[in-house]
């Protein structure tokens, strides 16, 4: 059994009379330590899939298994625990607490976890060892995203889920964030899933899941992914 497995997952949204099938029998497997990109046009269902996998939303049909656990049959209480302990989230717009320093932002997230890493150590890992006491407004977009990644990693999660993590950044800064995510995957064996609409970054992943109209269009495996330079 794969580390992560989605089998025939369906998610519908009811908009008055109209039913939108945002995920339409989605199936894929992901191994532990894989660097995976989910790519597809806007509205394809990428965020829907990530939210379901991260326990932020429940699916209507199908099964989801993560590390042997049946996430799709979790109660809402179990889902809360799963989100809190097992999943690190990174979003396009960092979502940092503005009146807390970088260190405090990471400590706040780590506090509620079972087995957190040291906040200072994780900030040093993401290259912010000299920025611990800065507030978000004193940091660049790329640095704020590094804090957000540190905050996610400090939970020592099973899985890092990133929704358009470079979407608000310029090309060069975005590249350095992708490099950090890829290095984290390679060096720490972290399973990392990145959503993007940008097909240019596909060669860097072990596996590329192409999503279109709520369905898996194609899955590509890269035998030799390109390192982000």
Binding site for ligand ADP (CB under 6 A): 13, 15, 20, 22, 40, 42-48, 166-167, 169, 171, 174-175, 178, 198, 200-201, 228
Beta strands in 113-214 (DSSP E): 159-163, 191-196, 207-212
Pairing of strands 61-66, 4-15: antiparallel
Q: How far is the CB of 13 from ligand ADP (least distance, A)?
A: 3
Let me know: does 150 contact 117? Beta carbons within 8 Å: no
Tell me how far apart the alpha carbons of residues 101 and 5 are, in angstroms, rounded to a whole number. Answer: 37
Let me know: does 211 contact 44? Beta carbons within 8 Å: yes
Q: Which is nearer to ligand ADP, 136 or 142 (CB)?
A: 142
Q: How far is the CB of 220 from ligand ADP (least distance, A)?
A: 16
Q: How far is the CB of 169 from ligand ADP (least distance, A)?
A: 5
Q: Which is nearer to ligand ADP, 153 or 169 (CB)?
A: 169
Residue 69 Cα distances to 39, 99, 108, 155, angstroms: 26, 37, 27, 19
Q: Which is nearer to ligand ADP, 1 or 171 (CB)?
A: 171
Q: Which is nearer to ligand ADP, 56 or 100 (CB)?
A: 56
Residue of 117, 127, 119 whose CA lies nearest to 100: 119
Q: How far is the CB of 59 from ligand ADP (least distance, A)?
A: 12
Let me know the angle formed at the C-alpha of 135 by 180 and 157, rounded to the nearest 5 degrees. Answer: 40
Q: Residue of minimal CB distance from ligand ADP?
A: 174
Q: How far is the CB of 108 from ligand ADP (least distance, A)?
A: 27
Q: Which is nearer to ligand ADP, 52 or 106 (CB)?
A: 52
- The residues with which 209 forms a beta bridge, in sequence order, are 38, 219
């Amino acid at each position: 059994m794969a580390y992560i497995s989605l089998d025939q997952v369906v998610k519908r949204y009811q908009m008055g009379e109209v039913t939108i099938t945002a995920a339409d029998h989605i199936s894929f497997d992901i191994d532990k330590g894989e660097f995976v990109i989910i790519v597809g046009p806007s509205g394809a269902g990428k965020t829907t899939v990530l939210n379901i996998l991260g326990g932020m939303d429940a699916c209507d049909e199908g099964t989801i298994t993560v590390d042997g656990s049946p996430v799709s049959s979790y109660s809402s209480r179990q889902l809360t625990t799963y989100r809190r302990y097992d999943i690190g989230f990174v979003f396009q717009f960092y979502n940092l607490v503005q009146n807390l320093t970088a260190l405090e932002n990471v400590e706040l997230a780590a506090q509620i976890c079972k087995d957190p890493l040291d906040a200072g150590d994780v900030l040093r890992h993401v290259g912010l060892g000299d920025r611990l006491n800065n507030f978000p407004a004193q940091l660049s977009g790329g640095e704020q995203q590094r804090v957000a990644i540190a905050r996610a990693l400090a939970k020592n999660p099973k899985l890092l889920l990133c929704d358009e993590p470079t979407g608000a950044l310029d090309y060069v800064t975005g590249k350095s964030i992708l490099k950090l995510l890829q290095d984290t995957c390679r060096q720490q064996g972290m399973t990392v899933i990145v959503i993007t609409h940008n097909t240019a970054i596909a060669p860097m992943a072990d596996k590329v899941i192409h999503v279109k109209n709520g369905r898996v269009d194609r899955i590509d495996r890269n035998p030799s992914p390109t390192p982000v330079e």
